[in-house]
Structure 1
Amino acid sequence: MLVVIANDLPPAVRGRMKLWFIEPRPNIFVSGIKDSVADTVVTYLNKSCPPESGLLIFQRINRSPGYKIWGIGDHTKQITDIDGLQLIIEKNLSSREKTLYTAEQTLQ
């Protein structure tokens, strides 16, 4: 399975994506393609999309944790890796917020 979330895709790429994917919302593509085809699609997107496309790609893999996240271009979310587990950072805490959060956790 492959899920592609884009800020903006070139029209030619978007048209080609519609061959393999459904598009439940604009610039969000979902497909159950096989792993070998998914690798080809990721390579195609990497070569064909400018950085402004801002791609986040979620690919199913056969080892733990079961997925791989690719970030291509200027996407708005930050990808982090913690002990081999890829995660998306939703909100960066300021140093003051981190201090308050740590103090709050200590009190509980």
Structure 2
Amino acid sequence: MPNLTVLSTTAVPDHVRGALTRWMIEPTPGLYVGTLSARVRDELWRVVSGSIGDGAAVLVHPEANEQGFTVQTAGERRRIPVDLDGLTLIAFRPDECQEMANRG
């Protein structure tokens, strides 16, 4: 059954952007939204995560858990998802947390 899928990208190759726009709309640059089957979603994510290079991507889609969704990431990002007793929270990288603490 198709489900709403959101994919955010940063600095991905043009061919990846082209592949994504075949299946999803791009309401703002780098943000893709679509109603996809799990099979299509997983295949698109395989393509995106396999050719991320210096870029980054975040995939959010429905999942049977307490939050009702799951978060997957590829590439280097400032924020990272962390599982805390079954809930996905977003944390800053430890080195950036230390920099922020030193500033404050």
Q: Into which bin does the TM-score normalised by the smaller protein fall? A: 0.7 to 0.9
Q: What amino acid maps onto 2:41 in structure 1?
A: A
Counterpart of 1:94? Answer: 101
Counterpart of 1:69? Answer: 71
2:38 to 35, 40, 52: 35
Matched, 1:48 2:22: no
Shift of 1:63: 3.5
Q: TM-score, normalised to structure 1's length?
A: 0.75
Alpha-carbon RMSD? 2.3
Shift of 1:4: 1.1
Q: TM-score, normalised to structure 2's length?
A: 0.77
Q: Is the radius of gyration larger for structure 1 or structure 2?
A: 1
- Which structure: greater helix fraction? 1
Q: What amino acid maps onto 1:27 in structure 2?
A: G
- Which structure: greater strand fraction? 2
1:80 to 66, 79, 82: 82
Matched residue SS, 1:6: strand
Unaligned stretches of 5+ in structure 2? none
